[in-house]
Structure 1
Amino acid sequence: MNEPAKALPGASRAVAIGSGLTGTLAAQALSGCVSDVIVLERDYLPERPEPRKGLPQARHGHHRFYSGGVNAMEIILDKVTDRLLDAGAHRIPLPTGMLAYFPQGWYRRWPATHFLIACSRDLVDFTVRELVAAETNIHFSKA
């Protein structure tokens, strides 16, 4: 984490339910506040980026993160953007690298002010889970 977390008085363990993006990032955020974080997951966790039964929406085509979300995630999990890009994600500058057509015509391209990270949901979940699992006080457990 970029900023040191404050310990939770009297708490030594926290539990995050689910190893999707939200549960995994929550575990990372809690890891600086307690001595032990357990992530409970009922689904099979693949050893590489691949679809999971418990995450059916991952099969839908969609953009992953706009720059605001990426920046927020970097606060919780340092270097996650670099890892995603190394794993095959694409950083698309906006609006420079985007073609969009509206009823009024083509959207004009301007110098980049924002960006999005484009990749599969499977890649995001796997990469974030891999980084979080490297923390010594976070443990993934079958629910």
Structure 2
Amino acid sequence: MATMRFSFAGVALRETETSSWIRTIADCLGIHMFSKMNPSGGMNNVGWDTTKQKEIQDLHHYAIRNLIPKAGVYQMNLLESLAQSASIYSPEELDSLYSGTNKKIEEINSHISGVLVSARELCKSGHQNWESVQSLRYHINRLSSIIQPV
């Protein structure tokens, strides 16, 4: 582990503005600064907005660790019930069940893909990309509404 030495006086002399001085201290200490997101798409530099970043990380982890496995279980239950219904229903009724189940599985797959893409974009941006947050929330809400009856 490398030891970093710096002088507060040297840093203060090098940077005259308060905000740039704070950024320099944060860089020296290894603290990451980021901008606060607002829904209008603009970015306001307010320093350490860890609360918003933590909320987005929690949303991301909920989707990856909780919601996607539940969606996978729901898909397997759909397939098992469809396989069992083959012995009960007539071929005409079974075709309509197959098409309905297939549409539901495709919809679940598309929302799982949307969650994964949005989560990947959020990780790349350091949980700061507002469009990815909105996309992640949309796919989480849609996926939750599909698998909620389970």
| Common fold: TM-score over 0.5 | no
Question: TM-score, structure 2 length as denominator?
Answer: 0.23
Greater RCO structure (CA 8 Å; 6+ sep)? 1
The structure number with the bigger radius of gyration is 2
Bigger fraction of residues in helix: 2
| TM-score, normalization by structure 1 | 0.24
